[in-house]
Amino acid sequence: MDNEHIQEHGLVQGEKKELVSKCGPVGRAVIRNLIKEAINSMNKAYAPYSGFKVGAALLTAGQKIYTGCNIENAAYSPSNCAERTAFFKAVSEGERDFMAIAIVGGDNGNIKDYCPPCGVCRQVMREFVNPGRFLVILARSEDDCLVFFLEELLPMGFGPEHLNN
């Protein structure tokens, strides 16, 4: 994926460099692979009620990838989003250091648009990451994604540090 394929969501020319440097140590090949893993996971979604399938792939600082899909329930409220599945899998394996998450979703697994994380998932991410560094990658394909810092999607979020001072 070259730089043009990472969309700039309204950034002006001078800020494009910032977007490229934003990805920092998470290079294009890594981003493509994360998106591929998110798509694979989406295809395992259990979403018989909404029909909307979501997949996520979470990258640790140690370059491991934890995937997750949404898992719905007949009682509705116990349903879990793809992003939280990925985070809970990783945290339950002892991971605490995360760099990026790629997210894909669509009706019956047909990706037509970017799939932004719900507010609850943003808050779960906030618990475990540095919001000014952690990347949230919203993808329509391996070659088409938007990249945000969590801080942009959850400004002034409440986090663990607010309880510790």
What is the rounded CA–CA span in Å between residue 153 and residue 147?
11
Shortest Å, Cβ 111 to ligand THU: 13
**Using DSSP, how many helices (H) and how many strands (E) does the chain show?**
5, 6
In the block, tokens 């259990």 appear at 46
**Residue (54 or 99) nearer to ligand THU, CB:** 54
Reference 53, options 66, 65, 40; nearest CA is 40
| Residue 37 among the catalytic residues | no
Decide if residue 101 touches ligand THU (CB under 6 A): no
**Residue (48 or 132) nearer to ligand THU, CB:** 48
**Residue (1 or 71) nearer to ligand THU, CB:** 71
- 22, two tokens: 């934003």
Name which position in 59, 65, 82, 111 contacts ligand THU (CB under 6 A): 82
**Whether 57 contacts 86, CB under 8 Å:** yes
Site for ligand THU in 106-165 (CB under 6 A): 117-118, 121
Decide if residue 72 touches ligand THU (CB under 6 A): yes
Decide if residue 50 touches ligand THU (CB under 6 A): yes
* DSSP category for residue 113: S
Decide if residue 70 touches ligand THU (CB under 6 A): yes
- Catalytic residue (choose from 37, 72, 83, 142): 83
Name which position in 81, 111, 137, 145 contacts ligand THU (CB under 6 A): 81
Number of residues this chain uses to bind ligand THU (CB under 6 A): 13
DSSP string for residues in 6-75: EE-TT--HHHHHHHHHHHTTS-HHHHHHHHHHHHHHHTT-B-TTT-EEEEEEEEETTS-EEEEE-B--TT
- Give residues in contact with ligand THU (CB under 6 A): 47, 50, 52, 54, 70, 72, 79, 81-83, 117-118, 121
